[in-house]
């Protein structure tokens, strides 16, 4: 419900800040500015909590956790003999449904009310500077005016390629892949990025026969090459058909409920019961009134480090829409920065000296981006790959360690396989990036993030002593490899 009466008439309201989009990013912007004493409204046309809560981070991890836990149990003496049965798919899917609140947002709505943020249900569009028009679901029309700022936090949506037969084939996107009520017998996954490999991992563990089709030469192309190699090998060992260097030419569905045929360039084809296209995302900016403020609809929004849109002193673009780092945690980080900047500018009469941005300046979303891919094995990374460091002009060196050489790894799981790489700036002797592959490595990532973000000298890292015997001893092995002059294996 909106705060206004739903009587079909246009009503006008004024707030200090208006937020378009009530996903995790929009919620965090609203929370920060409201905590600073600014009156705040958010506009949302779908569920409060957004993509992450209902169709991405939360449901995907609910699907993946049983798969990973079973895999870990199979490598623990005394337990592995009891972990070879199939997953209870019905129980896993029911838990997934509980995690997403059965696609109801009552709790999120209550939270907004508890922090005194006004919610407007409906589609919001900019209508000139500092004005947002909301078309409600029952035909009501609200005009919201922002005294200080409008924040665009509308996120992204999945992109489907233009292929013959695809619209009629009813393909899955990430939304269908995380919300399906049944396990397909055969699933064809197109795309080797994070969504593709995570969903291939989850549905294969739940019993689907998975074929993974990748146009490029490997999986996870934005990460160190060995990361994708480990994931591809693991998927293949569990029975997936992983094909790289292939392109889809057409898709055909046999009737409404029949199988789907994915035709490849060159004439080969793959059959499945469902096909998931995980081939990219685009910003949800095509119908939010950008043209009324001189911006191009449908495009990414360019911002400064306080998340303010270039050329507009009142307009902010936070999260995926600015294309800086398309991950929920990075968007929430940006939201905290944007909220602080909006509040500071409001307190200062609209001004905030660029040289004095300080805590109002986002840097981690390009200098120390963190990511965990919840496959088996897990992949975690922060900062630059070796290739990216060299492309950026750094005189860099990479050192690699086989995780099997770490005492804690052998205790964590028999036959532990993994690899970790540290990329070092040779001129400053600080860490530019770290990539870890192996079970449980996501929990090692924050130590790497602190090293990269804090620009901790290698000489100081020797005095950060890892506990024995834990996976964190990988840090000691990396430092030894760097000292001894070892390079990539």
Q: What percent of the chain has pLDDT over 90?
A: 89
Tokens (6 digits) for 80: 């592995």
Q: How confident is the model at residue 489 (pLDDT cuts 50, 70, 90)?
A: low
Given a cut of 50, is residue 2 above it in pLDDT?
no
Alpha helices in 383-423 (DSSP H): 386-391, 407-412
Question: For 125-146, what is the mean pLDDT?
Answer: 95
Measure the CA–CA gap between 479 and 83, rounded to whole angstroms: 37
CATH of domain 167-280: 3.50.50.60
Please write the tens of the pLDDT for every residue from 155-190: 999 999 999 999 999 999 999 999 999 999 999 999
Helix axes 225-237, 194-205, angle to 10 degrees: 20
The pLDDT score that the predictor gives to residue 353 is 56
- For 442, the 3-state DSSP assignment is helix
The pLDDT of residue 3: 46
pLDDT level of residue 441 (50, 70, 90 thresholds):
very high
- pLDDT class of 440 with cuts at 50, 70, 90: very high
Q: Cα–Cα distance between 410 and 77 in angstroms, integer? A: 11
CATH number, domain 377-483 = 3.30.390.30
What average pLDDT does the chain have? 94
pLDDT in tens, 83-95: 888 999 999 999 9
pLDDT bracket for residue 367 (50, 70, 90): confident
Give, in order, the Cα–Cα distances in Å from 161 to each of 71, 155, 279: 34, 19, 8
What pLDDT score does 352 carry? 59
Q: What average pLDDT does range 13-31 have in this prediction? A: 97
Q: Is the dihedral of CA 64, 67, 72, 76 positive or negative?
A: positive
Strand partners, 254: none
CATH number attached to the domain at 10-49+105-157+283-365: 3.50.50.60
| Distance, CA of 433 to CA of 425 (rounded, Å) | 9
In the predicted model, is pLDDT for residue 337 greater than 50? yes
Q: What is the pLDDT of residues 296-320, one digit of tens each?
A: 999 999 999 999 999 999 999 999 9
What's residue 6's pLDDT?
Answer: 45
**Residue owning tokens 């964590």:** 412
38, burial (CB in 10 Å: exposed 0-12, middle 13-18, buried 19+): buried
pLDDT single digits (tens) 211-234: 999 999 999 999 999 999 999 999
153 beta partners: none
**275, 251 contact by CB (below 8 A):** yes
What φ, ψ does residue 375 adopt, rounded to 5°?
-95, -175
Domain 167-280 and domain 377-483 have a common topology: no
Using a pLDDT cut of 70, give the percent of the chain over it: 96
Mean pLDDT for 31-48 is: 97
Report the alpha-carbon distance of residue 22 to residue 488 in Å, rounded.
44
**Cβ neighbours for 325, distance < 8 A, ≥ 6 positions apart:** 331, 334, 365, 366, 369
Tell me the pLDDT tens digit for each residue of 52-105.
999 999 999 999 999 999 999 999 999 988 888 899 999 999 999 999 999 999
In this prediction, residue 485 has a pLDDT band, given cuts at 50, 70 and 90, of: confident
Cβ burial, residue 371 (10 Å; 0-12/13-18/19+):
buried
| CB-CB neighbours of 408 under 10 Å | 18
Q: How does DSSP classify residue 303?
A: B
- State residue 486's pLDDT score: 72
Average pLDDT of the residues in 447-474: 96
Whole-Å CA distances, 171 to 162, 190, 393: 12, 10, 42
At how many degrees (to 10) do helices 24-35 and 106-114 cross?
20
* Calpha distance 195→192 (Å, rounded): 8
Look at residues 14, 5, 11, 19 and name the one whose alpha carbon lies nearest to residue 288: 19
Alpha helices in 269-327 (DSSP H): none
pLDDT digits (tens, 9 = 90+) for 375-395: 999 999 999 999 999 999 999
Residue 231, CA distances (Å) to 126, 221, 255, 418 in order: 44, 12, 34, 10
Sign of CA dihedral 387, 392, 395, 396: negative
Delimit the domains of the chain by residue range. Answer: 10-49+105-157+283-365, 167-280, 377-483
The two most distant CA atoms of the chain are separated, in Å, by: 75
Q: Which residues contact 102 (CB under 8 A, 6 or more apart)?
A: none
Q: What is the pLDDT of residue 62?
A: 98
Helices (H) and strands (E) in the chain, counts: 15, 21
| 432, 452 contact by CB (below 8 A) | yes
* The pLDDT of residue 355 is above 50: no
The full DSSP string for 154-204 is --EEE-----TTTGGG--B-HHHHHH-SS--SEEEEE--SHHHHHHHHHHH
The reported pLDDT for the residue numbered 350 is 60
In this prediction, residues 249-275 reach a mean pLDDT of 93
Three-state secondary-structure class, residue 433: strand
Q: Which residue's structure tokens are 């619209």?
A: 167
- Give the tens place of pLDDT for each residue, 382-439: 999 999 999 999 999 999 999 999 999 999 999 999 999 999 999 999 999 999 999 9
Is there a contact between 19 and 30 (Cβ–Cβ < 8 Å)? yes
């Amino acid at each position: 419900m909106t705060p206004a009466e739903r009587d079909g008439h246009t009503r006008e309201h004024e707030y200090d800040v208006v937020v378009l989009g009530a996903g995790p990013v929009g919620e965090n912007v609203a929370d920060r500015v409201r905590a600073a004493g600014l009156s705040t409204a958010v506009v949302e046309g779908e569920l409060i909590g957004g993509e992450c809560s209902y169709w991405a981070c939360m449901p995907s991890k609910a699907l993946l956790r049983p798969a990973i836990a079973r895999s870990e149990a199979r490598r623990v003496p005394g337990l592995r003999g009891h972990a070879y049965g199939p997953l209870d798919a019905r129980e896993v899917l029911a838990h997934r449904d509980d995690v997403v609140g059965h696609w109801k947002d009552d709790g999120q709505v209550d939270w907004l009310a508890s922090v005194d943020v006004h919610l407007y249900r409906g589609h919001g569009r900019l209508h000139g500077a500092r004005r947002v028009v909301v078309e409600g679901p029952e035909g009501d029309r609200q005009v919201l005016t922002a005294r200080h700022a409008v924040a665009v936090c509308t996120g992204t949506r999945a992109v489907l390629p233009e292929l013959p037969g695809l619209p009629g084939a009813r393909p899955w996107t990430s939304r269908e892949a995380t919300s399906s009520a049944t396990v397909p017998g055969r699933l064809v996954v197109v795309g080797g990025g994070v969504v593709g490999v995570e969903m291939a991992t989850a549905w294969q563990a739940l019993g689907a026969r998975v074929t993974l089709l990748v146009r490029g030469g490997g999986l996870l192309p934005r990460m160190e090459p060995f990361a994708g190699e480990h994931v591809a090998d693991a998927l293949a060992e569990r029975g997936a058909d992983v094909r790289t260097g292939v392109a889809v030419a057409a898709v055909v569905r046999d009737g409404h409920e029949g199988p789907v045929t994915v035709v490849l360039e060159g004439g080969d084809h793959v059959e499945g019961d469902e096909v998931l296209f995980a081939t990219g995302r685009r910003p949800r900016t095509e119908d939010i009134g950008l043209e009324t403020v001189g911006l191009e609809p449908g495009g990414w929004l360019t911002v400064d480090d306080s998340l303010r849109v270039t050329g507009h002193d009142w307009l902010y673009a936070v999260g995926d829409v600015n294309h800086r780092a398309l991950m929920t945690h990075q968007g929430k980080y940006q939201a905290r920065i944007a909220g602080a900047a909006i509040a500071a500018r409001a307190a200062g009469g609209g001004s905030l000296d660029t040289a004095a941005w300080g805590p109002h300046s986002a840097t981690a979303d390009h200098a120390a981006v963190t990511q965990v891919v919840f496959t088996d094995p897990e992949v975690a990374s922060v900062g630059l790959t070796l290739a990216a460091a060299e492309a950026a002009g750094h005189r860099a060196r990479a050192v690699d360690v086989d995780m099997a050489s770490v005492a804690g790894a052998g205790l964590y799981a028999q036959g532990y396989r993994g690899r970790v790489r540290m990329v070092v700036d040779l001129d400053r002797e600080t860490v530019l990036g770290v990539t870890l592959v192996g079970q449980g490595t996501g929990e090692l990532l924050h130590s790497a993030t602190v090293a990269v973000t804090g620009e901790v000298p290698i000489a100081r890292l020797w005095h950060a002593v890892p506990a024995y015997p834990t996976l964190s001893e990988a840090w000691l092995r990396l430092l030894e490899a760097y000292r001894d002059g070892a390079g990539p294996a």
